[in-house]
Amino acid sequence: MATRGGRKSRAIELQGSVRLTVGGDDLGGAARIGLLRAVAEQGSITHGAKAAGISYKAAWDAIDAMNTLAGAPLVERSTGGRGGGSTRLTARGEQLVQRFAQIEAVHDRFVRLLSEEGLDLSQEFDVMRMLNVKTSARNQLTGTVSGYKAGAVNDEVELTLSGGARIVAVVTRTSTEQLGLKLGATAFALVKASSVLLATGLDGVRLSARNQIPGTVTAVTPGAVNAEVVLDIGGGASLAAVVTQASTDTLGLAVGQQAVAIFKASSVILGTTL
The average pLDDT across 267-274 equals 83
Separation between Cα atoms, residue 34 and residue 170, nearest integer Å: 48
User: Long-range CB contacts (< 8 A, 24+ apart) of 59-65?
Assistant: 59/35, 62/28, 62/32, 62/35, 63/35, 63/36, 63/39
The average pLDDT across 180-189 equals 89
Q: Which of 230, 226, 246 is nearest to 238 (CA)?
A: 230
What local confidence, expressed as pLDDT, does residue 35 receive? 95
Q: Which of 174, 196, 177, 160 is nearest to 268 (CA)?
A: 196
The band of 28, judged by pLDDT with boundaries at 50, 70 and 90, is very high
What sign does the CA torsion over 245, 249, 254, 257 have?
Answer: negative
Separation between Cα atoms, residue 171 and residue 221, nearest integer Å: 32
Is the pTM higher than 0.95? no
Radius of gyration of the chain (CA): 28
On the question of pLDDT at 79 being above 70, the answer is: no
Q: What is the pLDDT of residues 40-60, one digit of tens each?
A: 999 999 999 999 999 999 999
* End-to-end CA separation in angstroms for the chain: 34
The average pLDDT across 5-20 equals 78
Helix 45-52 × helix 30-42 angle, to 10°:
130
Q: What is the pLDDT of residues 196-233, one digit of tens each?
A: 999 998 888 888 899 999 999 999 999 889 999 999 99
The average pLDDT across 243-247 equals 93
What local confidence, expressed as pLDDT, does residue 116 receive? 72
